[in-house]
Amino acid sequence: MNIGIPRESGMHEARVGHGVKSVAQLVAGGHRVYVERDAGTRAGFPDKDFVQAGATIVYSAEEVYFRSDLIFRVWAPSPTDIDLLQEGQTICCFAYLYSRPTSTIKKLMDRGVSVLAYESIEDRNGRRPILRPMSEIAGRMVPQIAAFLLQSPRGRGVLLSGIPGVLPAEVVVLGAGEVGFNAARAFAGVGAQVTVLDSAERLVELDRIFDVSGRLGLQYAGPHQIESAVCKADVVIGAVMLPEQRSPVLVSEEMVRNMAAGSVIIDVSINEGGCVETSRPTTLEHPTYVKHDVIHCCLPSIPSLVARTATEAMSITTRPYLQRLADKPSILGTDPELRSGLRIYKGKIVNKQLADIHHQPVFDLEDLI
């Protein structure tokens, strides 16, 4: 199988679609791997490491796409990249097609390609093994980001931990999935006062895990409770993610307007549309903007800030799936785990939620294969 790993072209992404050790395993299995020049440099994987692993370095994205049957990326291809796709190719990536423009979905369909969405792959226990480590990284990174953004002169000048005699920062975490859980634990670990809001069922689970007697409180995520908590917060973390859906908007613009000047919103759910009304995607080059005197950070690619760690974690979790797919491409539509992440198959949408969101026809995968 011919496998291509292009350099990421969007959002100043520093990760690379597959790490060196995983590439070596693919080559050892008899596959040919083409890596675009400098694709891994920003993640600490220079071209020479890929060459030693047995890959071939090519010097343009055009050549990667021309030579390859399988494309391993971090993100779904940009509109420019889509123009390079060839009919019958399979793209494996974090796709988030639900929040992409319909025009992008149509272009992918017109190219006759298949899209395997990492974030949607489920194992036999219903867990999402590839998404999970990226969510863990994002959750653990947000206290570092928040601490920096709170600093004077731009932020409120609040120390997350406080000191004896001065209260710590008030942090509100909306949603207690992998991102929210890891964020809450990390914030509490540095001494912030943390309030986690989620469903009653999830709060019961967290009560068994967290020591809630100190600086971490659990609260039901009703409209009144959210409004009250957000308006008093120094930091709000948006971590609400619903499978195969756009994130609900839980924080209105009016709530943002009532927050203190210099406070911080980090909307980690921006890949799913964001859960704050005033959120819009930002980039690593321009990570923040200010709205109603509140600093917003809405990076779709927080794990890229630790690109080497994130690439290695992604490679470990994608390796068994991508190895199976490379060894036998025909299992894309029949392997239960791969099938759970398949969103477009040879130009046809095979997921009802995605088709409904973009008002496109949905096809039965059984009929297509």
pLDDT tens column, 255-293: 999 999 999 999 999 988 999 999 999 998 899 999 999
pLDDT band at residue 213 under the 50/70/90 scheme: low
Predicted local confidence at residue 208, as pLDDT: 85
CA 318 → CA 39, 106, 115, 218, distances in Å?
A: 18, 27, 15, 34
Tell me the C-alpha distance between 288 and 42, whole Å.
Answer: 22
Predicted local confidence at residue 42, as pLDDT: 93
pLDDT band at residue 99 under the 50/70/90 scheme: confident
Whether pLDDT at 358 is above 90: yes
Mean pLDDT of the chain: 94
Domains, in order of start, for the chain: 2-128+307-368 (3.40.50.720), 136-305 (3.40.50.720)
Task: Kindly tell me the burial class for residue 41, based on how many C-beta atoms sit within 10 Å of its own C-beta (0-12, 13-18, 19 or more).
Answer: middle
Chain segment 57-94, per-residue pLDDT in tens: 999 999 999 999 999 999 999 889 999 999 999 999 99
**Element holding 334 (H helix, E strand):** none
Whether pLDDT at 340 is above 80: yes
Average pLDDT rounded to a whole number, residues 308-315: 96
Phi and psi (nearest 5°) for 168?
A: -75, 175
The secondary structure of 273-311 as a DSSP string is T-SBTT-----SSS-EEEETTEEEE--TTGGGGGHHHHH
This prediction has a pTM of: 0.92
Tell me the C-alpha distance between 191 and 212, whole Å.
Answer: 13
Residue among 239, 249, 199, 203 at smallest CA distance from 222: 199
Whether pLDDT at 212 is above 70: no
Residue among 113, 56, 121 at smallest CA distance from 344: 113
Predicted local confidence at residue 11, as pLDDT: 62
Q: Which two tokens stand for residue 242?
A: 């619903």
Residue among 138, 78, 172 at smallest CA distance from 298: 138
Higher-pLDDT residue of 245 and 6 is 6
Whether pLDDT at 211 is above 70: no
CA atoms within 13 A on the CB side of 26: 36
Predicted local confidence at residue 210, as pLDDT: 77
Predicted local confidence at residue 106, as pLDDT: 96
Q: Name the pairing type of β-strands 264-267 and 235-238.
A: parallel
Average pLDDT rounded to a whole number, residues 295-303: 95
pLDDT band at residue 180 under the 50/70/90 scheme: very high
**Element holding 43 (H helix, E strand):** none
